[in-house]
Amino acid sequence: MQSRNVTLPNENKWKITEINLTVPVEFVLLGFSDVPKLHWFLFGIFLFIYVIIVLGNGLVILITRVEPTLQTPMYFFISNFSFLEICYVSVTLPRMLMDLYTMKGNISFYACAMQMCFFLILGTTECFLLAVMAYDRYVAICNPLHYSLVMSHKVCNQLVVGSWIIGIPIQVGQTYQILSLPFCKSNKLNHFFCDIPPLLKLACGDIFVNKMVVYIFGVLIVTVPFMLILGSYSRIISTVLKLPSNTGRTKAFSTCSSHIIVVFLFYGSASITYLQPKSNAYEGTDKLLSLFYTILTPTFNPLIYSLRNKNVTGALRKIFPRLIAL
């Protein structure tokens, strides 16, 4: 027997199937609709932030590619991380800017699925790439004599490719299982992009298993890389404290501090959002925390890795005259 879809003539645009499961044709992202008077102000702020993120991270990629003194594994990972940040923020910010400009938040079911899938994949990539960067610092400080052998060009490429692809099957499966749920409460998402927590709030029926699957994968994706980072830095701190020279200790801590700042900005806000118990009282907090790991971390990344790094600032002084001459 073939299933038959009937479109209901109401403003929410739902489809209902023979087995009585409702599937929304589109969702409505409420975003910042609770502050309509600030729409144009927020549009200007977020547009400025997006331009800064693209230009700042693009500049980091440029200088790490063209400056000979920055052709090391550490800057190779920083360059990849900057590219990831541009991709990561481009999944959510352009859509949010369009919604603020049009004063509408309508997004089709399939566009919502694509946005969530790419967002989750890139978020997973960021978790593992941060762990790879911590491992790189561990090898450089704790095993410097074998650094060039351990962190060879081939190994660096393998670590980066692994970070990019490890989340694809997991998050494609996550996206499928979330968007296969019946949505019978509403089609309005109290968020500025399609994400798991707000979508789960719209699902009906017994979704305990789905929530547990999301929680387990969230714990694995967040906790495993974070534990690797903690392990790397515990060994780094132990090694650095044994250095006889204060200058050596200062240099080592300075090299690692930038990465630690990015780790805590990203992991702190993301883990609270995905691992805390959900209730309607936390919806405003979830949106605020989401701004941290989707917008603020990519914004601060080029500042943290350039202004705090003497090699990068030195490369900038060399490159800027060339760019101005062009």
Model pLDDT for residues 217-237, shown as the tens digit of each residue? 888 888 888 889 989 888 888
Residue 39 CA, chain-centre distance (Å), reads 24
Please tell me what DSSP assigns to residue 34.
T
**pLDDT level of residue 114 (50, 70, 90 thresholds):** very high
10: pLDDT strictly greater than 60: no
Cα angle 302, 307, 311 (rounded to 5 degrees) comes to 100
What's residue 14's pLDDT? 47
Asked if residue 201 lies in contact with residue 191, where contact means CB atoms within 8 angstroms, the answer is: no
The torsion angles phi and psi of 31, rounded to 5 degrees, stand at: 55, -120
How far apart, in whole angstroms, are the C-alpha atoms of residue 295 and residue 65? Answer: 25
Q: CA 98 → CA 57, 102, 170, 194, 250, distances in Å?
A: 22, 6, 29, 14, 46
Which stretch of 23-27, 76-80, 156-160, 167-171 has the lowest confidence by average pLDDT? 23-27
pLDDT averaged over every residue in the chain = 81
Greatest mean pLDDT among 148-152, 258-262, 290-294 lies in: 148-152
Model pLDDT for residues 84-109, shown as the tens digit of each residue? 999 999 999 999 999 999 888 899 99
What's residue 16's pLDDT? 45
Cα angle 56, 221, 292 (rounded to 5 degrees) comes to 40
- Average pLDDT of span 150-175: 93
CB-based burial label for 271 (10 Å; 0-12, 13-18, 19+): middle
As a 3-state breakdown, the chain gives helix, strand, coil percent values, each rounded to 5, of: 75, 5, 20
What's residue 163's pLDDT? 94
48: pLDDT strictly greater than 90: yes
How far apart, in whole angstroms, are the C-alpha atoms of residue 124 and residue 129? Answer: 9
**pLDDT level of residue 165 (50, 70, 90 thresholds):** very high
**pLDDT level of residue 184 (50, 70, 90 thresholds):** confident
177: pLDDT strictly greater than 60: yes
281: pLDDT strictly greater than 50: no
Tell me the domain boundaries of the chain. 6-325
Model pLDDT for residues 240-259, shown as the tens digit of each residue? 888 776 666 676 666 677 77
Which residue did the predictor score with more confidence, 193 or 308? 193
How far apart, in whole angstroms, are the C-alpha atoms of residue 182 and residue 301? Answer: 39
What is the radius of gyration, based on Cα positions, of the chain?
22
What's residue 285's pLDDT? 66
**pLDDT level of residue 11 (50, 70, 90 thresholds):** very low
290: pLDDT strictly greater than 60: yes
What's the topology of domain 6-325? Rhopdopsin 7-helix transmembrane proteins (1.20.1070)
DSSP characters over 113-175 = HHHHHHHHHHHHHHHHHHHHHHHHHHHHHHSGGGHHHHT-HHHHHHHHHHHHHTHHHHHHHHH
Look at strands 106-108 and 6-7 and give their pairing: unpaired
Which stretch of 15-29, 117-131, 209-223 has the lowest confidence by average pLDDT? 15-29
Structure tokens at 132: 């790879």
